[in-house]
Amino acid sequence: MEALSINASHRSCKQAIAEQHNVLSYGAKPDGSTDSTKAFLAAWAQACSSISPSTIYVPPGRFFLQNVEFKGPCKNKAIVVRIDGTLLAPTDYRIIGNAGNWIFFQNVDGVTVSGGVLDGHGSGLWDCKQSGKNCPSGATTLGFSNSNNIVISGLTSLNSQMVHIVINGCNSVKIQGVRVTASGNSPNTDGIHVQLSSNITILSSKIGTGDDCVSIGAGTTNLWIENVVCGPGHGISIGSLGKDLNEPGVQNVTAKTITFIGTQNGLRIKSWGRPSNGFVRNVLFQHAAMNNVQNPIVIDQNYCPDNINCPGQASGVKISDVIYQDIQGTSATQVAVRFDCSKKFPCTGIKMEDVKLTYKNQPAGASCNNADGTTSGVIQPNSCLHQARCDESVRVRTASKQIADETNQNSINLYSNFASSSTLAMTNSVEKCNKASKALNCVTALLEGEYGAIYADLEEPEADYRISPLHDAAAPGFLLVLKWFELLDLRI
């Protein structure tokens, strides 16, 4: 019985050891010229079909790969791709230029890519694009789509044709210790792009490229970025958003302990100047150091390249609850803080705490359009945010034409009479003011058209928002506004 117990234990230990699949065993050649694509796919097929944890090992050397897709789902939920060598894309950009991705993982779970260098050989395509010729769009170097529980660590991405790393439709992804390098004038070479994904962390990485260091696309939720050095590049950008009418929003984003060196932007939120139901909310930018950054803090809701498909339109993306905390350093331009928010849906709930930005050893400037928020601590440049003052009237934008169409002319008269006589009694609560501001945006979203102004009257503390003395006789348009207030639980 004792011997059987020992043997059983021995078998159990062997099963716990990860299987290793050396790509050399499948025909890969580390000479930098032999096509090793089939060998890598064969190693993947073995690991994917195994029920035991597996490692695909890429030893030192230079391995040439065409575009390659590692597809799931796999039986195996613990595959490590360990790279000690360098993977080389074709030097002729046309070979993979329209492939979308060079190295692509799809529908996988529990995959780790560790170490190594990925050389995208993108400079030829960059030159083509800058010459104005008809060029392929370019391939992303490393892409994950519809995948879960992914780790990318210790990886270096060089000279991607297009975006270096893309996370699309994924959940639970950790990117750590990554280095991204490309020329500062390389077009469309974002370092890391995240979209339609949740629970993503980007840690302890250094990114220098020709576009955004990190770009955050629609449908991103619960993203944590920490201890990242960015430069050259276009900064950390939420957006561009709102190109499409129906688009999921971005929420719960934290970017902290970030150093920007000579970048075009620092912390940026960008949306198209066109209708959209998208949103950005609950964002924290914390502990950022700016070193000669052209636009350290910027919200641009009038993005419209070449004024095509959006001239004269207002962004429908609703931006709220964005905090800038402990942002220090130097601006390369006089205006270091620029909030250019939507005229239709102003930014609300912006908070600036301990922000100090200088330009040529002097206080920098700030510019605001349609931006409501508060400040605390040392603020330099001086804030231009519109304070959501509770001793003021709260404006409710309405569409008088649509109200007239949907109700009757009497409702317009009620609005007009009420607007000229009412006042707002409200406690000095920033939180409640922000809620009220959001309510107004909801009303605006519902009642589009030519906007007039009316005023809401608050009664006693603990009471609902009510319109008085016209409450009982309110026209349907009034009741519609009141319903929005009720749904948002707006109480004093």
Q: What are phi and psi of 51, to 5 degrees?
A: -95, 0
Half-sphere exposure of 397 (CA within 13 A, CB side): 19
Residue (of 82, 188, 178, 80) closest to 140 by Cα position: 188
Which position has the token pair 């239709």?
A: 344
Structure tokens, 190? 């974002």
The residues annotated as belonging to the active site are 234
Q: Which structure tokens are listed for 32?
A: 């930098």
Buried b (16+ CB within 10 A) or exposed e, 246-262: ebbbbbebbbbbbbbbb
5 contact partners, CB below 8 Å, separation of at least 6: none
Place of tokens 């920007």: 260
* Tokens 């993979």 belong to residue: 96
Other Cβ atoms closer than 10 A to 334: 14
Measure the CA–CA gap between 241 and 250, rounded to whole angstroms: 9
- For residue 337, what are the CA distances in angstroms to 253, 302, 326, 332, 386? 20, 16, 14, 12, 14
- Classify 394 as helix, strand or coil: coil
Q: How many other CB atoms sit within 10 Å of the CB of residue 38?
A: 14
